[in-house]
Amino acid sequence: MTTLLRGRLLSFKRAPQSLSDTDCYFYEHDGGLLIENGIIAAAGPYTDVKARAPAHVAEIDHRPHLILPGFIDMHLHFPQMQVIASYAADLLEWLNTYTFPEECRFVESAHAERIATHFYDELIRHGTTTAVAYCSVHKTSADAFFSEAMRRNMRMVGGKVMMDRNAPQGLLDTPQMGYDETRQVIADWHGKGRNHVAITPRFAITSTPEQMETAAALAREFPDLHIQTHLSENHDEIKFTGELYPDAIDYTDIYARYGLLGRKSLFGHAIHLSDREADAMSEAGAVAVHCPTSNLFLGSGLFPLKALARRQKPVRIGVATDIGGGSSYSMLRTMDEAYKIQQLLGERLNPLESYYYMTLGNAEALSLADKIGTLDPGTEADLVILDPAATPAMALKMEVVNNLAEELFLLQTMGDDRAIVETYVAGKAMKSILQ
């Protein structure tokens, strides 16, 4: 199956150094993207790519829209689709009042399967082609999550949550159950289709030291797997965590002690890190995942993205929606809020950086840049097609836009799912076939 897309191609080669760093990306105004069996075969000027395509290749003309690698969402919770927009004072109240009771429902396969369908529909509607998700504690939720990913042929990372204390009974496993069921999820799903299983202790508050030992054992047995958890999101959470692990130097040290601090480790939030913690993260190559809409919605704090990225020992950074603490499925809305958080900190997050983070940056943070995150030949044809004039107000503003960076900034500032013309997964158009 071969397809030729025509449109304006944009793909990053590396992290931008400034707004005038035009070498960090590849842009082709009249571009051609040749896709063979779900893989990008060529990307370049339309006439060149057309010349090497088979004679009667199927062509789809997306001009004047932009063709980018599909967005990557580094942290969200699939069982929280009906938690989004819950009115709470802060993280711990939000978890106890809405989130934990809702996640209890995922013991039922029928419920998990129904929500999984909606989950992937929503990702596709918003141009997200890869996401890193928490399931619930129940294996049923992981089964629903991965089987639907496979049905849609999407590259997804996910994990059965491990949690054995400080939550309702219906949401608790035990150290042994968490270990056994995670192993079973790995056996059933890891490497099947495009699925990746992540070892997922929810956070130190909901795991006993005994459970953390089992997470450590899993990390040793499966060193290639991603590990995901939460870190330093909220001041009350940090204080409670310190009381539960009095021997640890700080929050980051708890995970380090259990062998959970490494290059495959993805830490949601990581807002209030000390210098020591940031150094430890940097030395381990661990990733701090910024979730701006969630941090603002729950009043958790202002993530010092620019400061962490420019340290002498820089911290690797990913960006994410954190549904349902987050308030939008859109990575465009997410980066708009990320921009505003840096504004409040007296920092500038330029639009090239934003689009780098949503695509190649997140792919690098996942150690998956050889497969996703660019338009490079040989990588998977997961794509988003963007219309910067999607609404009347956007079209009006487009009249005075002078260059690519301004156009990207307009899309980020005003765009949402309405700006997503199409989402391709392994070369297949997925948005237009949604119900």
In whole angstroms, the minimum distance from the beta carbon of 335 to Zn ion comes to 18
Q: Is 268 in the site for Zn ion (CB under 5 A)?
A: yes
230 binds ligand GUN (CB under 6 A): yes
Q: Which is nearer to ligand GUN, 75 or 431 (CB)?
A: 75
**Among positions 322, 337, 382, 387, the unique one binding ligand GUN when judged by CB under 6 A:** 322
Size of the site for ligand GUN (CB under 6 A): 11
Q: What is the nearest approach in angstroms of ligand GUN to the Cβ of residue 381?
A: 32
Residue 73 or 233: the one with the smaller Cβ distance to ligand GUN is: 233
Retrieve residue 212's tokens: 């953390």
Site string for ligand GUN, 259-298 (x = CB under 6 A): -----------------------------------x----
> Of these partners, ligand GUN, Zn ion, none, which one is at the site of residue 294 (CB under 5 to 8 Å by kind)?
ligand GUN
Instruction: Point out which span in 91-99, 118-126, 367-375, 413-421 binds ligand GUN (CB under 6 A).
Output: 91-99
- Residue 266 in contact with residue 255, Cβ under 8 Å? no
Q: Which two tokens stand for residue 92?
A: 């711990």
Written as six digits, the tokens of 8 are 């304006």
* Contact region with Zn ion (CB under 5 A), list: 57-65, 156-164, 221-229, 315-323: 315-323
3-state secondary structure of 226: strand
**DSSP secondary structure, 290-303, as one string:** E-HHHHHHTT----
H-type alpha helices, 153-234:
175-189, 209-221
CB of 54 vs ligand GUN, minimal distance in Å: 48
**Among 3, 11, 99, 379, which residue interacts with ligand GUN (rule: CB under 6 A)?**
99
**Helix 404-414 vs helix 331-344: crossing angle, to nearest 10:** 100
At closest approach, how far in Å is the CB of 242 from ligand GUN? Answer: 15
11 vs 294, beta carbon nearer ligand GUN: 294
**From the CB of 233, what's the least distance to Zn ion, in Å?**
8
The contacts of residue 324 (CB under 8 Å, 6+ apart) are 76, 77, 80, 81, 82, 83, 84, 85, 86, 99
Q: Is position 166 an interface residue for ligand GUN (rule: CB under 6 A)?
A: no
Provide the residue type at 212 as one letter. Answer: M
Closest CA to 210 of 251, 177, 183, 246: 177
CA distances from 336 to 123, 348, 352, 408 (A): 18, 12, 13, 11
CA angle 312, 317, 323 (to 5 degrees): 155
Beta strands in 307-412 (DSSP E): 316-319, 383-386
**With CB cut-offs between 5 and 8 Å by kind, which of Zn ion, ligand GUN, none does residue 387 bind?**
none
What's the CA angle centered on 364, arms 37 and 148, to 5 degrees?
50
138 binds, among Zn ion, ligand GUN, none (CB under 5 to 8 A by kind): none
Q: Is 387 in the site for ligand GUN (CB under 6 A)?
A: no
Among the residue ranges 141-149, 196-204, 316-324, 346-354, the one whose residues contact Zn ion (CB under 5 A): 316-324
Which partner in ligand GUN, Zn ion, none is near 229 (CB below 5 to 8 A by kind)?
none
Q: 80-117: string of b/e by CB count within 10 Å (b at 16+)?
A: bbebbebebeebbebbeebbbebbbbbbeeebbbebbe
Three-state secondary-structure class, residue 331 = helix
In the complex, the smallest distance separating the C-beta of residue 103 from ligand GUN, rounded to whole angstroms, is: 8
Interacting residue ranges for Zn ion, rule: CB under 5 A = 268, 322
List interacting residues with ligand GUN (CB under 6 A).
Answer: 77, 91, 95, 99, 202-203, 230, 233, 294, 322, 325
